[in-house]
Structure 1
Amino acid sequence: MKVTIITVCYNSSNTIEKTILSIQNQSYKNIEYIVVDGNSKDNTLEIIKKHEDKITKWISEPDKGLYDAMNKGISMATGDLIGILNSDDIFNSESVIEEIVDFHKRYDIDASVGNIVQHKENGKIIRLYSSKYWNPEKLKIGFMPPHPSIFFKKELFDKFGNYDLGFKIGADYELITRFFLKNKIIWKYSGIITTAMLVGGLSSSGSSSYNLITKEIQKALSMNGIEFSPLKIKMRFFWKIIGFLKK
């Protein structure tokens, strides 16, 4: 089974080398690694070229943003499974892809959903973001699993489409809604901690971002014909606190 890992980057010279080495150090070797650079202006390209032997395919050209770059990577992919590794993230262990492949071979599924850890620049882990209690119905109240923990069969993108460029920071939410809730793909929780993510991403950077993603969650559900309560989505922070206290 071939696994395609896609990294999109722009001006990522401070972090991308660790990301590339994280791929190289995987115990599973049938990996197609695709890097899509958005025409970086720093030393990102020099780092990519330095590690060209570890990268299957790479391009560097202007794009329309993160999701456009992801779509470019998907269009280049030839693997059976597709996963995303952001340019400031690393795999949580050297056996992650081997564990993912074993899991997909064990179960007849379209996608696996796992966990990630979030850490500060000094490496201190501040959060385990788990999908253990997640299910697609929770998309209706504003909760999705951690995007980097999901490994999809490539055929899903061929059948149901790629990331919608009409979203600024919520195209991953819309795609997960389209795949899991509208088209009811077969999925299973893997329990695998796939990714160590550096905190401070685009969709987790303050109240203005919270308001934008709230609007985009509602847009994602509406365009896929899913009934929902706007109030419950706006109040999702409180549901999260309640769920934490219950645990």
Structure 2
Amino acid sequence: MKISIITVSFNSAATIRQTIESVLAQDYPALEYIVVDGASKDGTVEILKSFGDKIRFISEPDKGIYDAMNKGVKMATGEVIGTIGGDDFYPNNQVISNVAKTFLQYQTDAIYGDIQFINPDDIYTIVRYWRAGEYSRENWLNGWMPPHPCFYIKKAAFEKYGYFVTDFTCSGDYEFMLRMLYKKHLTVQYLPLTLMTMRNGGTSTASLKHRYRANMEDRRAWRINNLKPHWYTLWMKPLSKIAQLFKKG
């Protein structure tokens, strides 16, 4: 089983080398790595070039993160698609091999795992842990979602049910997973391992303004799929993150 990993980057020179090295260090042999860069001007492109043919990359203007993600998916030749951010890295070199084993064992359409968040200024300090738990479709109505940075799905799902909606700014991952798992009922398996290390922060959590925008986009995700959440569903989604602050693995 070939697995394609995609990174979307823009002016990520400060961290992307660590990201790339963590992907290339994976012990899974059938691995393709694609970087879709948004025409960075800070030295990111030079870093990408320094890895030669170990990675595939393009660097050109895009229409946003989900437009760039779609470019990467269309470039991918793997049976399974996963993503890693340009300032994130894998916690060990067995992540992708464990993902592959899970796909083969359960013959599932998608899998997800857990994430640890670290202090951006001290990568050895874990400040938050997202333990996703076993899948239950009804949990979506309680504000639950799989951790999108460690969500892996068959490329065939994109081809059958569509790609990321490109006019979202921060909830395109949520809409995509909601569509695939809740609406289309694709099979999914929880892998109870830490599959990603992320620097704390992000577009949807960086400020109250961004949180408000994310909440509005979450509501739109249900609406455009002709789905109806409970009245409390989208209030519970950000509140559920509070418990993560008390978990450190």
1:118-146 deviation digits (Å, cap 9, x = unpaired): 10121111111111155333333433111
Q: With the length of structure 1 as denominator, give the TM-score of the two structures.
A: 0.93
Residue in 2 that maps onto 1:120 = 119
Residue in 2 that maps onto 1:33 = 33
1:80-100 deviation digits (Å, cap 9, x = unpaired): 111001100011110101111
- Confirm or deny: 8 A CA contact 2:129 2:245 kept in the other structure: no
Give the whole-Å Cα distance in 1 for the aligned partners of 2:233 and 2:147: 20
Name the SS of the counterpart of 1:58 in structure 2. strand
Give the whole-Å Cα distance in 1 for the aligned partners of 2:234 and 2:32: 37
Structure 1 residues without counterparts, runs of 5 or longer: none
Q: Percent identity?
A: 38
Cα deviation for residue 183 of structure 1 reads 0.2
Residue in 2 that maps onto 1:193 = 194
Name the SS of the counterpart of 2:89 in structure 1. strand
Q: Are the structure 2 counterparts of residues 22 and 185 from structure 1 closer, same or farther at C-alpha, using a change threshold of 3 Å?
A: same
Give the whole-Å Cα distance in 2 for the aligned partners of 1:235 and 1:109: 28
Cα deviation for residue 223 of structure 1 reads 1.2
The RMSD of aligned alpha carbons is: 1.8
Give the whole-Å Cα distance in 2 for the aligned partners of 1:242 and 1:36: 34
Give the whole-Å Cα distance in 2 for the aligned partners of 1:117 and 1:89: 10
Residue in 2 that maps onto 1:171 = 172
Out of 29-38 and 136-145, give the one that drifted further: 136-145
Q: Are the structure 2 counterparts of residues 8 and 234 from structure 1 closer, same or farther at C-alpha, using a change threshold of 3 Å?
A: same
Residue in 2 that maps onto 1:42 = 42
Out of 205-214 and 132-141, give the one that drifted further: 132-141
1:58-89 deviation digits (Å, cap 9, x = unpaired): 10000011111100000001101110011000
Structure 2 residues without counterparts, runs of 5 or longer: none
Q: Number of residues paired by the alignment?
A: 244
Out of 131-140 and 119-128, give the one that drifted further: 131-140
- Confirm or deny: 8 A CA contact 2:143 2:240 kept in the other structure: no
Give the whole-Å Cα distance in 2 for the aligned partners of 1:192 and 1:243: 15
Structure 1 outlier segments of 4+, above 6 Å: 242-245
